[in-house]
Amino acid sequence: MAKQKKAPRPKAVTPKGFRDYFGAEVTQRAEMLRTIAGVYHRYGFEALESSAVETVEALGKFLPDVDRPNEGVFAWQEADVPGGGAGDWLALRYDLTAPLARVYAQHRNELPTPYRRYAMGPVWRNEKPGPGRFRQFYQCDADTVGSGSVAADAEICAMLADTLEAVGIPRGYYVVRVNNRKVLNGVLEAMGLAEDEERSAAVMRTIDKFDKVGEAGVRELLGKGRLDASGAYIDGVGLTEEQAEPVIALLTARTRLNEIGPDQDPAISYNTVVLNTLSQLVPATGEGMKGVEELMQIANLLAAQGYGPDRIVIDPSVVRGLGYYTGPVFEAELTFEITDEKGRPRQFGSVAGGGRYDDLVKRFTGQEVPATGVSIGVDRLLAALHAKGRMQAETQGPVVVTVMDRDRMADYQAMVAELRNAGIRAEVYLGNPKNFGNQLKYADKRNSPVAIIEGGDEKEKGIVQIKDLVLGAKIAETASLEEWKDRPSQFEVPRDQMVAKVQDILKGQGQ
Amino acid sequence: MAKQKKAPRPKAVTPKGFRDYFGAEVTQRAEMLRTIAGVYHRYGFEALESSAVETVEALGKFLPDVDRPNEGVFAWQEADVPGGGAGDWLALRYDLTAPLARVYAQHRNELPTPYRRYAMGPVWRNEKPGPGRFRQFYQCDADTVGSGSVAADAEICAMLADTLEAVGIPRGYYVVRVNNRKVLNGVLEAMGLAEDEERSAAVMRTIDKFDKVGEAGVRELLGKGRLDASGAYIDGVGLTEEQAEPVIALLTARTRLNEIGPDQDPAISYNTVVLNTLSQLVPATGEGMKGVEELMQIANLLAAQGYGPDRIVIDPSVVRGLGYYTGPVFEAELTFEITDEKGRPRQFGSVAGGGRYDDLVKRFTGQEVPATGVSIGVDRLLAALHAKGRMQAETQGPVVVTVMDRDRMADYQAMVAELRNAGIRAEVYLGNPKNFGNQLKYADKRNSPVAIIEGGDEKEKGIVQIKDLVLGAKIAETASLEEWKDRPSQFEVPRDQMVAKVQDILKGQGQ
Whether residue A471 contacts residue A489, with contact meaning beta carbons closer than 8 Å, is answered with yes
| Contact with chain A for residue B141, Cβ under 8 A | no
Based on the fold, state whether residues A373 and A420 are members of the same structural domain. no
**Confidence band (pLDDT; 50, 70, 90) for A43?**
very high
The DSSP line for A234-258 is EEP----HHHHHHHHHHHHGGGGGG
Interface test with chain A among B51, B59, B399, by most A beta carbons within 10 Å: B51
**Confidence band (pLDDT; 50, 70, 90) for A52?**
very high
**Which residue in A136, A152, A420 is closest to B51 by CB distance?**
A136
Residue A454 lies in a domain: yes
**Confidence band (pLDDT; 50, 70, 90) for A271?**
confident
Angstrom distances, CA of residue A88 to CA of A6, A98, B12, B71, B234: 37, 18, 14, 16, 38
* A360/chain B closest Cα distance in angstroms: 12
Element (H, E) at B101: helix B97-107
| Contact with chain A for residue B414, Cβ under 8 A | yes
Q: Please check the confidence at residue A451 and state whether its pLDDT lies above 70.
A: yes
Whether residue B351 contacts residue B376, with contact meaning beta carbons closer than 8 Å, is answered with yes
A294-323 mean pLDDT: 88
| Contact with chain B for residue A431, Cβ under 8 A | yes
CATH of the domain at A480: 3.40.50.800
Residue B495 lies in a domain: yes
* Portion 432-451 of B in contact with A at CB < 8 A: 442, 445-446
Interface test with chain B among A14, A416, A452, by most B beta carbons within 10 Å: A14
Quick: pLDDT tens for B103-161: 999 999 999 999 999 999 999 998 888 777 899 999 999 999 999 999 999 999 999 99
Interface test with chain A among B43, B73, B76, by most A beta carbons within 10 Å: B76
Based on the fold, state whether residues A428 and A312 are members of the same structural domain. no
Residue B365 lies in a domain: no
Based on the fold, state whether residues A436 and A294 are members of the same structural domain. no
| Contact with chain B for residue A476, Cβ under 8 A | no
pLDDT of the residue at A389: 78
Based on the fold, state whether residues A317 and A453 are members of the same structural domain. no
**Which residue in B42, B54, B74 is closest to A420 by CB distance?**
B42
Q: By C-alpha distance, which of A341, A354, A360 is closest to A60?
A: A360
Q: What are phi and psi of B32, to 5 degrees?
A: -65, -45
Residue A500 lies in a domain: yes
Q: Please check the confidence at residue B254 and state whether its pLDDT lies above 80.
A: no
CA dihedral angle for residue B367, residue B373, residue B378, residue B383, rounded to 10 degrees: 130
pLDDT of the residue at A65: 40
A265 annotated to a ligand binding site: no
Residue A483 lies in a domain: yes
| Contact with chain B for residue A245, Cβ under 8 A | no
Based on the fold, state whether residues A355 and A250 are members of the same structural domain. yes
* A233/chain B closest Cα distance in angstroms: 29
| Adjacent-strand bridge partners of A453 | A465
| Contact with chain A for residue B34, Cβ under 8 A | yes
Q: What are phi and psi of B139, to 5 degrees?
A: -125, 160
Across the interface, whether the CB atoms of A301 and B410 are under 8 A apart is answered: yes
Pairing of strands A399-401, A426-428: parallel
Based on the fold, state whether residues A376 and A403 are members of the same structural domain. no
* Average pLDDT across chain A, whole number: 88
Across the interface, whether the CB atoms of B30 and A20 are under 8 A apart is answered: no
Across the interface, whether the CB atoms of A44 and B20 are under 8 A apart is answered: no
CATH of the domain at A327: 3.30.930.10
Q: Which residues contact A147 (CB under 8 A, 6 or more apart)?
A: A114, A370, A371, A372, B430, B431
Termini Cα distance of chain A: 63
Angstrom distances, CA of residue B338 to CA of A376, B335, B344: 42, 10, 8
**More confident call, B8 vs A255:** B8
**Confidence band (pLDDT; 50, 70, 90) for B69?**
very low
From A344, A361, A387, give the residue that closes a domain: A387
| Adjacent-strand bridge partners of A227 | A233
Q: Please check the confidence at residue A3 and state whether its pLDDT lies above 60.
A: no
The DSSP line for A145-196 is ES---HHHHHHHHHHHHHHHHHTT--TTSEEEEEEEHHHHHHHHHHTT-TT-
Q: Please check the confidence at residue A232 and state whether its pLDDT lies above 80.
A: yes
| Contact with chain A for residue B25, Cβ under 8 A | yes
Chain A residues touching residue B442 (CB < 8 angstroms): 112-113
Q: Please check the confidence at residue A87 and state whether its pLDDT lies above 50.
A: yes
Angstrom distances, CA of residue B508 to CA of A4, B390, B418: 77, 21, 20
Based on the fold, state whether residues A275 and A347 are members of the same structural domain. yes
Domain span holding position A33:
24-210+244-387
Based on the fold, state whether residues A304 and A351 are members of the same structural domain. yes
Query: Which of A305-309, A461-465, B89-93, B225-229 comes out lowest in average pLDDT?
Result: B225-229
Whether residue B236 contacts residue B221, with contact meaning beta carbons closer than 8 Å, is answered with yes
At CA B430, angle to CA B426 and CA B433, rounded to 5?
Answer: 120
* Numbered residues of the known binding site of B for L-histidine: 95-97, 125, 139, 143, 320, 324-325
Domain count, chain B: 1
Based on the fold, state whether residues A193 and A135 are members of the same structural domain. yes
Residue B485 lies in a domain: yes
Based on the fold, state whether residues A319 and A437 are members of the same structural domain. no
Pairing of strands A312-314, A174-180: parallel
Q: Which residues contact A472 (CB under 8 A, 6 or more apart)?
A: A489, A490
Chain B residues touching residue A431 (CB < 8 angstroms): 113-114, 146-147
A26-41 mean pLDDT: 96
* Portion 38-57 of A in contact with B at CB < 8 A: 41-44, 46-55, 57
From A387, A416, A451, give the residue that closes a domain: A387
Quick: pLDDT tens for B301-311: 999 888 988 89
Based on the fold, state whether residues A377 and A436 are members of the same structural domain. no
**Which residue in A9, A34, A48 is closest to B366 by CB distance?**
A9
| Adjacent-strand bridge partners of A428 | A401
A407 annotated to a ligand binding site: no
At CA B313, angle to CA B308 and CA B317, rounded to 5?
Answer: 170
Residue B79 lies in a domain: no
Whether residue B251 contacts residue B316, with contact meaning beta carbons closer than 8 Å, is answered with yes
Task: Indicate the DSSP class of residue A124.
Answer: E
From A326, A357, A387, give the residue that closes a domain: A387
* CA–CA separation, A212 and A221 (whole Å): 12
Q: Please check the confidence at residue A491 and state whether its pLDDT lies above 80.
A: yes
Q: Please check the confidence at residue B284 and state whether its pLDDT lies above 90.
A: no
Across the interface, whether the CB atoms of B430 and A34 are under 8 A apart is answered: no
**More confident call, A325 vs A36:** A36
Based on the fold, state whether residues A369 and A412 are members of the same structural domain. no
Angstrom distances, CA of residue B174 to CA of A394, B171, B389, B499: 36, 7, 16, 44
pLDDT of the residue at A94: 92
Residue A233 lies in a domain: no
Chain B residues touching residue A60 (CB < 8 angstroms): 10
SS3 B381: helix
Pairing of strands A463-468, A450-453: antiparallel
* CA–CA separation, B111 and B83 (whole Å): 36
